[in-house]
């Protein structure tokens, strides 16, 4: 069953320009630097002090004050079981006193995760961290042919000074990666598909770690994946055994690559045959066949005019002509539908 995947599309429209990365290597280096610059430590709750700051509150670990970002402030309120909205309405002195008095004390240590003087997250004992760069290193090793999709459409009138939206994102709360193999086309039940996957994680507990692999037919400039098949998803919470997720994610990537190689060899044979197999001896025969595959007569006639420039009405020449004509559709859905109809002709060469 085909399905449209919206995960990358949703990420595109919620990410700020400073969360975008132009290349996979740039994202990998950022996550490497972020890991090296961050400090993970365990402390007794009795050694933590919540105190007023200029505009809000800060957390002092021993004698080291740490400023809170929006996420760590939310976590602090959650641990203290105090409404974040209520605390935000209080002055820094009152807010710090409320949190200091309600923050749980005891013998169980508290995990603080900081970068410089910013507290990135605060957790209890049940949380286990998995670094973004650990996942990206798997991609570097086992998915070497995969790259980001085409740059997404501009969301503002002027984005000349902002990084392109390539499907590679990392912010203070989480990471998301969208990768495809644009040369990995293969035949599945008579239609052309290529492999891709989404990969996500959070070093601070905002979301699970996970991967979704799939085979796609079209990706629009809003990063909607159209008509995906063989969609496989795996995710895991950041609990004690979260590092076992790396093994499962590696296996899913390896399976996707192995299936791509197997299918690509078969697809090459189909394309080779399509380049030598004629759809008919004349315009009338070919137009009739194209009509049986749901291709309008006007479009079919234009495609035959382009295909005729290659000398014969081969399957490959006609599919290539229809694909080029499909790019003229302004609507991404229309383009995807046209591509699917033309790709169905490849089944005649199977």
The per-residue pLDDT for range 114-147, each reduced to its tens digit, is: 999 999 999 998 999 999 999 999 999 999 999 9
Question: What pLDDT score does 206 carry?
Answer: 96
* Residue of 281 and 85 predicted with greater confidence: 85
- Residue 157 has a pLDDT of 42
Structure tokens at 228: 């995906």
pLDDT at position 15 is 94
pLDDT, position 329: 64
Between these two residues, 47 and 335, which has the higher pLDDT value?
47
Mean residue pLDDT across the chain? 88
Residue 336: its pLDDT value, please?
A: 60
DSSP state of 41: E
Least confidently predicted of 1-5, 20-24, 214-218:
1-5
Q: Write the CB contacts of 321 (distance below 8 Å, at least 6 apart in sequence).
A: 302, 303, 304, 306, 307
Comparing 74-78, 161-165, 257-261, which segment has the lowest mean pLDDT?
161-165
Q: What angle do CA 94, 67, 163 make, to 5 degrees?
A: 130
Interval 4-32 mean pLDDT: 95
> Degrees (nearest 5) of the Cα angle 203, 130, 244?
150
Looking up tokens 């905002």, which residue turns up?
206
pLDDT of 64 over the 90 cut: no
Q: Tell me the whole-structure pTM to 2 decimals.
A: 0.78
């Amino acid at each position: 069953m085909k399905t449209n995947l919206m995960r990358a599309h949703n990420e595109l429209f919620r990410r700020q320009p400073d969360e975008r990365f132009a290349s996979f290597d740039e994202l990998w280096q950022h996550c490497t630097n972020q890991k090296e610059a961050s400090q993970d430590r365990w402390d007794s709750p009795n050694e933590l002090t919540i105190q007023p700051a200029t505009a809000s509150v800060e957390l002092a670990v021993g004698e080291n004050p740490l400023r809170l970002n929006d996420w760590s402030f939310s976590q602090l309120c959650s641990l203290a079981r105090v409404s974040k909205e209520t605390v935000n309405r209080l002055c820094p002195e009152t807010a710090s006193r409320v949190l200091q008095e309600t923050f749980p004390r005891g013998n169980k240590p508290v995990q603080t995760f900081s970068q410089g003087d910013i507290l990135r997250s605060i957790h209890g004992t049940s949380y286990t961290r998995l670094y973004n760069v650990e996942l990206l290193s798997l991609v570097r090793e086992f998915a070497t042919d995969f790259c980001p999709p085409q740059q997404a459409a501009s969301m503002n009138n002027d984005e000349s000074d902002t990084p392109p939206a390539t499907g590679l994102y990392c912010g203070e709360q989480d990471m998301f990666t969208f990768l495809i193999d644009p040369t990995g086309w293969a035949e599945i039940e008579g239609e052309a598909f290529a492999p891709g996957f989404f990969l996500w994680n959070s070093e601070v507990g905002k979301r699970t770690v996970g991967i979704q692999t799939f085979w796609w037919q079209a990706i629009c400039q809003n990063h909607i994946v159209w008509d995906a098949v063989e969609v496989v998803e795996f995710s895991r919470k950041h609990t004690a055994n979260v590092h076992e997720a790396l093994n499962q994610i590696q296996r899913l990537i390896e399976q996707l690559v192995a299936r791509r190689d197997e299918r690509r060899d078969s697809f090459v044979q189909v394309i080779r045959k399509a380049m030598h197999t004629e759809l008919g001896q004349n315009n009338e025969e070919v137009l009739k066949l194209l009509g049986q595959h749901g291709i309008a007569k006007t479009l079919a006639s234009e495609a035959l005019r382009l295909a005729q420039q290659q000398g014969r009405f081969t399957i490959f020449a006609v599919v290539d002509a229809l694909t080029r004509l499909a790019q003229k559709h302004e609507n991404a859905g229309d383009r995807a539908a046209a591509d699917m109809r033309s790709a169905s002709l490849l089944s005649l060469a199977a």
